[in-house]
Amino acid sequence: MTRPHEDSSNPTRSAVTVFAPAKVNLILRVLDRRADGFHNLWSLMQTVGLEDAVTIRPASGHSEIRLQCDSAALSVDQTNLVYRAAAAVLAQSQHRMGLDIRLTKRIPMGAGLGGGSSDAAATILGINRLLNLGWPAARMAEVGQALGSDVPFFFHAPTSVVAGRGEQVRAISVAGSRWVVLVNPGFPVETKWAYQQLSATRQSVEPLSERCSRLEAQGRVSWDDVIGLASNDFEGPVFDAHPVLRQIKTDLLKWGAHLALLSGSGATVFGIFSDEAGARRAGASFQGHSEFKVFITQTCSEPLRVE
């Protein structure tokens, strides 16, 4: 039987920082319900330059996972996805050691931007690097899948088609970078509630279109392709419950967004712009709403960044 590694694992780095990007759903289809009670999804996901940061250090004075976060709204105990991700990697790699982890939050919580999932993925990748585990993306994604449906995507970032419960990930590329305006209304939307509203309000499940299926088969697509297919099945019920989100989408389109869409189950609405000036004008138009959080950034073109 293989014995667990002790503190003498001799990591070659004294610390690793991984930048955890937000994601937007350029397409999000909620398909049939599975036997396990979850829904099959089909989504085109894209990372954007709004990032959290996860810094991981081997602990010298204790053998625990100790997590700190600059947001008082986020728990730092075993319910936190970063903590759970660290514990899972240590267990599966059979390392017994302490870790000091610092989470710096910029991505709003409950926002449909995948912040918690991205933080978990960054933690897995960071410990993989810190301990020289040599795990490939598929192994890291397998660990992440047990933590959340969106986690595997971040190991195949920046752009991927994601299907099933999130475990089926096919990396593709969208030609060229775009500017993104993220508008968060200052309140969260609970994912479970959004699914309940969707199930209660729609009459049937529209099958995945042939155009989406063809998109998945391509290794590289254009923004025109994406704009023509952009949709989110959650928009109807979520917008009905929160009309301010529909108004944000309308305003982004009025200010020149090539597409504007709810991300995930909400509550963030984003617009895609071809140039920085247009994005900044659109972002500035929301300044009168002090409760809104507005971020102006670009689509990512690289995988998770490690320092």
| Residue (of 151, 98, 160, 161) closest to 125 by Cα position | 151
227: its two tokens = 């704009």
Q: Which residues contact 9 (CB under 8 A, 6 or more apart)?
A: 95, 97, 131
- Write phi, then psi, for 205 (nearest 5 degrees): -105, 120
Three-state SS at 31: strand
| Separation of first and last alpha carbons in the chain | 35
**104 pairs with which residues across the strands?**
53
Q: Is 52 a catalytic site residue? A: no
Q: Which of 119, 150, 233, 249 is catalytic?
A: 150
Q: Decide: 147 and 120 in contact? Cβ < 8 Å.
A: yes
Q: Decide: 261 and 26 in contact? Cβ < 8 Å.
A: yes
Q: Is 150 a catalytic site residue? A: yes
User: Would you say the C-alpha torsion 158, 183, 146, 62 has a positive or negative sign?
Assistant: positive
Q: Which of 23, 100, 119, 249 is catalytic?
A: 23
Q: Which residues are known to be catalytic?
A: 23, 150
